[in-house]
Amino acid sequence: MEIVAYGVLADEQPLLRDAFDREFGAAHGLRCLGLFLNRDTAPIAAGHEVVLSSVNDTLDAEVLRALAKGGTRMIAQRATGYNNIDLTAAEELGLTVARVSYYSPYSVAEFAWALALAVDRRVVRAAHRTREFDFRLDGLIGRDLHGRTAGVVGTGKIGAAFARIAHGFGMRLLGWDVAENPDCLALGMRYVEKERLFAEADLVSLHVPLLPDTHHLVDARALALMKDDAILVNSSRGGLVDTDALLETLRAGRLSGVGLDVYEEEAGVFFLDKSLEVMTDERLARLMTFNNVLVTSHQAYFTRDAVGQIAATTVGNVADHFAGRTSENTLVPRHETGTGR
């Protein structure tokens, strides 16, 4: 039986194939596509019981109906987030859905720090200058983070890893979450209301999932509370930040630096080569004009360690589906009824 995977990146493919070969051998073939899953590409999956999806695929009710009609019975999301999947429609159609609930938190936490340090010390601007043999230091002054305050929004595995690094820098720790993490408390973190965190932190890093309650968590009000010279880093989900409000804040000359590995309208842009096209997303184009803003293409998770773990977990989810098992990764369990087949 052949399994089809959408949105497979070049560096991801060998790790994914290796994981499938180790688990299934010749029992199940793997077809890797660079195309993202949407209404136009869904027919390619016809005849494939299992579809492996990526975080930038579109799995709304229309796409899920097309998959179910073509014989698909299982969606294995190669990511932790699943806000791109209509779980209600999947259940109605009798589709099993699973995700990767855990992979290396260090990949994202370390990259969030890479963004923070890059904007604080003006690394990108400096690199561009030196490539042109301009070795002046004008406009490149940063500041020590030692002794300053890090605000960690979301203190799960990734947030806790970020906090441990902040503690290593000698920073004061403020946290906000629905539940306190004992590991963070042991570092000396003080949990406060998010308004106080925004107001007191010199560096704010976001590590919460995108839910209705967290959509535009960083809005105009939150940004107004932040220090004029604060640094904002988002390596979680783009929808956590109100881009329009952020643009207004930057136009007002506020915030020392912003590091964004995610963007709320990244679908159809990130992971693709748009260098020969006109950028029609005016908000993204405007973000790029600020020399204190660094945007990367949702790469925080992209280490061999993390991608290898994602591949291994995805294979385990597929094996569970064939065996009729569920796990902590199961979002919609296997069932035999449904309207899509």
Catalytic residue among 207, 266, 321, 334: 266
146 included as an active-site residue: no
**250-289: b or e for each residue (b if 16 or more CB lie within 10 Å)?**
beeeebbbbbbbbbbebbebbbeeeeeeeeeeeebebbee
Burial class (CB in 10 A: 0-12, 13-18, 19+), 206: buried
| Residue whose entry in the numeric block shows the structure tokens 């403020």 | 174
CA dist 156 and 179 (Å) reads 9
DSSP state of 188: T
CA dist 94 and 65 (Å) reads 10
216 included as an active-site residue: no
Torsion angle of C-alpha atoms 102, 301, 114, 227, degrees rounded to 10: -70
**In the numeric block, which tokens belong to residue 154?**
């979301």
Please list the alpha-helical segments (H only) found in the chain. 13-24, 61-69, 87-92, 105-120, 123-131, 157-168, 182-186, 194-200, 220-225, 243-251, 282-287, 304-323
Catalytic residue among 65, 298, 321, 334: 298
Rg (Cα) of the chain, in Å, rounded? 21
The alpha carbon of residue 273 and the mean position of all alpha carbons in its chain are separated, in whole angstroms, by 19
Catalytic residue among 237, 264, 321, 334: 237
CA dist 285 and 108 (Å) reads 25
122 included as an active-site residue: no
Residues carrying an active site annotation: 237, 266, 298
